[in-house]
Amino acid sequence: MAETYEEPRVLAIILGGGKGTRLYPLTKERSKPAVSFGGKYRIVDIPISNCINSGYKKIYLLTQFNSASLHLHISNSYNFDRFSNGFVEILAAEQTLEHSGWYEGTADAVRKNFIHFKTQKPTHYIILSGDQLYKMDLKAFMNAHIKSGANITIAATAVNRQDATGFGIMKIDNENNIKEFMEKPKADLNIDAWKIPKEARDPGLPEEKEYLASMGIYIFDAQTMEDMLGGENERYTDFGKEIIPLAIGKKKICSYTFDGYWEDIGTIRSFYDANIELTSDQPRFNFYSEVKPIYTHPRNLPPSKINKAEIDHTLTSEGCIISNSTLKNSVIGVRSIINEGCELDGVIMMGADYYDTREDCAAYKKAKTPLTGIGKNCKIARTIIDKNARIGDNCKIGVSKKKYEDGDHGSFYSADGIIVIRKGAVIPSGTEI
């Protein structure tokens, strides 16, 4: 008789993160997962698409800050048919008779939602982050977890000693069992004993990548998740800092090495760099895949109209109107309006949620304020322009050698040398930043 195999009942949980202070001001009016990315997408589309492409269509998204924009995006983007039994559902922090406070950490967010998860009767949980850029076959990850007999499996990426200071580092044995876990080892600490054993080392890894760093992506057996978050462990709130170290020695924990491109996009600098890299000849993250696409909101916008322009290494989204301008190494979002004579270099323009109506145009002209988009003869470089911004004529932004301290400067924000024009900001004609 052939051996029967029961498919695991997998529940995917995407952690929406906290206040997103490192991505401020992009997170002033929206949560981190809802921030625009790649012209037409949102950051949350990446982990959701990884789940769908891997065949896991029961997805919960946990968030508690500025979730209105995220709710709207999810409801407009992910509607499964009745035969798939799939869903993408947001669980914002809520008060119940058992819990009255906010999510206090990643583990606490999962614990407070067990009442919702258990109705799906999962055998396994996949825990994903809402602010990472990568493509992973989660089914292969799950198969490796089941084959190993582990209770918990942690996805890991190989890093060098310098980068190890920014991650949770794992010590493994020859069979990928995790024996110790260290959170962000200081640069002067000797961690030679934590190097990847030769027997467990992927032969394709670069020599300098000698340590395994946690990606913050986990698989838990359902019973193990309940054991580690319940009882006397209820005082522990974070997976990486508390739950995982606590489980070592009590549960069988294995590592799963992911050798593809992976980037944490939790800061303005990393967000900017990840977007701009999409414009290179061969970006490490590939949107151009028919087999494993990245899904998002289908907007039914018209094609972009280019009225004589020079465009080099630039992504342009739907519904744009670009007139007699020069664009280089830039990402242009939906409904972006760029008027004649502009020069953009290294610009992330998130576009707009709407087109100006005739009434809007008449009112703006009467008030002598710019229309939505970029006016005539503007020079802009190394800048992120958030949605619905209105930039007047003859503006210069990010092209001078002037340096600003990180922080709020009224009409704009500066972070690591990158200018951020706020959502809905009005920049008068002739402004120089």
Q: Note the pLDDT tens digit of each residue in 254-264.
A: 999 998 999 98
Q: Where are the alpha helices (DSSP H) in 248-295?
A: 268-277
> E-assigned strands of 74-190?
87-92, 124-129, 132-134, 152-159, 168-172, 178-183
288 in a structural domain = no
Same domain, 215 and 349: no
Sign of CA dihedral 90, 96, 100, 106: negative
The total number of structural domains that make up the chain: 2
Residue 5 has pLDDT above 80, yes or no: no
Same domain, 85 and 205: yes
* Tokens encoding 233: 């462990």
pLDDT confidence band for 18 (50 / 70 / 90) = low
Same domain, 77 and 146: yes
Give the best-scoring range by mean pLDDT among 113-117, 277-281, 286-290.
Answer: 277-281
60 in a structural domain = yes
Find all residues with CB under 8 Å of 142, minimum gap 6, and list them.
8, 10, 54, 124, 126, 219
Secondary structure, 3-state, 312-378: ECCEECCCCEEECCEEECCEECCCCEECCCCEEEEEEECCCCCCCCHHHHHHHHHHCCCCCEECCCC
What's the pLDDT score for residue 395?
97
pLDDT confidence band for 95 (50 / 70 / 90) = low
Average pLDDT score, the chain = 91
- State which of 261, 277, 293 marks the end of a domain: 277
* Tokens encoding 154: 């942690």
Write the CATH number for 327: 2.160.10.10
| pLDDT > 70 fraction of the chain, expressed in percent and rounded | 96
| C-alpha distances in Å from residue 315, one per residue of 133, 141, 308, 311, 319 | 17, 32, 16, 9, 13
Residue 99 has pLDDT above 60, yes or no: no
What's the pLDDT score for residue 1?
43
Same domain, 189 and 244: yes
Mean predicted confidence (pLDDT) in 117-125: 94
Same domain, 312 and 375: yes
| C-alpha distances in Å from residue 294, one per residue of 85, 270, 290, 305 | 20, 20, 9, 24
289 in a structural domain = no
Q: Where are the alpha helices (DSSP H) in 191-280?
A: 222-229, 244-247, 268-277
1 in a structural domain = no
Find all residues with CB under 8 Å of 204, minimum gap 6, and list them.
259
355 in a structural domain = yes
Inter-residue contact 323 to 308 (CB < 8 Å): yes
What's the pLDDT score for residue 94?
61
Inter-residue contact 316 to 322 (CB < 8 Å): yes
Give the global pTM. 0.93
Same domain, 317 and 259: no
Same domain, 252 and 318: no
Residue 357 has pLDDT above 80, yes or no: yes
| pLDDT > 90 fraction of the chain, expressed in percent and rounded | 75
- State which of 277, 292, 319 marks the end of a domain: 277
Count of CB atoms situated within 10 Å of the CB of 206: 8
243 in a structural domain = yes
What's the pLDDT score for residue 83?
80
* Tokens encoding 157: 């990426």
CA–CA gap between residue 164 and residue 183 (Å, rounded): 9
pLDDT tens-digit map of 150-191: 999 999 999 999 999 989 999 999 999 999 999 889 999 999
Q: What is the DSSP string of 160-202?
A: -TTGGGGSEEEEE-TT-BEEEEEES--TTS--GGGSPPGGGS-
pLDDT tens-digit map of 380-408: 999 999 999 999 999 999 998 888 999 99
pLDDT tens-digit map of 197-246: 988 888 888 889 999 999 999 999 999 999 999 989 999 988 988 999 99
Same domain, 123 and 202: yes
Same domain, 138 and 255: yes
Write the CATH number for 43: 3.90.550.10
The residue range of the domain holding 80 is 10-277
CA–CA gap between residue 392 and residue 174 (Å, rounded): 62
Provide the 8-state DSSP code for 235. G
Same domain, 363 and 260: no
| C-alpha distances in Å from residue 364, one per residue of 360, 392, 396, 397 | 6, 11, 21, 22
What's the pLDDT score for residue 290?
86
Find all residues with CB under 8 Å of 96, minimum gap 6, and list them.
112, 115
Same domain, 228 and 366: no
pLDDT confidence band for 98 (50 / 70 / 90) = low
Same domain, 271 and 360: no
